[in-house]
Copies of this chain bind each other. A is one copy, B any other.
C-alpha cells in the first residue's frame, strides 16, 4: 500500500530551478511537434487526468503544459458537482461524453475519480459501492485503451502547509479571488481522510498508471507533467500519414 505521507511534496534539493525551467521549455517544443503528428495521424487519442487537493495546481498544470499547444487539438474540461441529469445516470456517463476523439488531447480537471473521493469522504458512497466503482473505472479505462487512447493520470501532491498558503492567497490577491470558495476550507478539514481515499484510489485503479507529482513548487510540477506526457507520446512513434498520391 502506498503511503502518500512518505512521499515528498517538493522538488529534489539538487535541482536548479532556472535549468529545469529551460528543460521544460525544450519538452514543450517537442510536445508541440508530437501533437501535430497526433492530430494528423488520428490513430491515437490522449486523455490527461489531473487530480489533487484544492489548490494543488491542477488548473495551472493544464494552462502551462497544454496551453502551449494548438487549441484545435486540445480541449480541457472541469468536472464539478454533477447536475440532476448527470446524477440520474451512472457516474461514467458524463465522463464518457468528454472522451477525446482520435487525434485529440483532452485534459480533465478532476474526473470520475471524484466519485470514489469526495463521495467517500462525506459518506455518500459506501465501501461496497466504491469497490464496484473501482472495477467500473478499470474496465472503462481498458475500453479506452482498446480504442487507442493513451491515459495519463497525475496526482498533484501538495503539503497541507502549502495548500493553506495558497487558499489564503486567494482571499488576498485580486487576481486569485475568483477562485476563493468558503467550502474549500471546510473540505481541508478532512485532509487525512482525503489522503486515505487517494491512497485507495491509487492502489485500486492502475489500469493506467498514476504519476505522483511533488507539487509544492509549480516549476517542478510543470516539468514533471511535461516530461511524462512528452516521453509517453514519443514512445508511440507517431508519424505523419504518408503521401496518399
**Bound-state Cα–Cα, A140 to B144, Å:** 12
* Nearest-Cβ distance from residue A41 to partner chain B, whole angstroms: 12
B90/A99 in contact, CB under 8 A: yes
Q: Check: A101 CB closer than 8 A to any chain B CB.
A: yes
The A143-200 residues at the B interface (CB cut-off 8 A) are 143-144, 146-147, 149
A146/B142 in contact, CB under 8 A: no
Q: Given the known A-B contacts A96-B97, A97-B97, A101-B85, are A90 and B139 also in contact in the complex, defined by CB atoms under 8 Å?
A: no
Q: How many copies does the complex hold?
A: 2
**Bound-state Cα–Cα, A243 to B236, Å:** 59
Residues in B neighbouring A102, C-beta threshold 8 A: 88-89
A90/B146 in contact, CB under 8 A: yes
B139/A142 in contact, CB under 8 A: yes
Contact bitstring A82-95, B, C-beta under 8 A = 1, else 0? 00010011111100
Q: Check: A36 CB closer than 8 A to any chain B CB.
A: no
Chain B residue with the shortest CB-CB distance to A95:
B96
Contact bitstring A123-134, B, C-beta under 8 A = 1, else 0? 000000000110
* Nearest-Cβ distance from residue A67 to partner chain B, whole angstroms: 24
Residues in B neighbouring A103, C-beta threshold 8 A: 88
Partner of A146, one of B97, B99, B136, B143: B136
A143/B90 in contact, CB under 8 A: yes
Chain A residues with a Cβ under 8 A of chain B: 42, 85, 88-93, 96-97, 99, 101-103, 132-133, 135-136, 139-140, 142-144, 146-147, 149
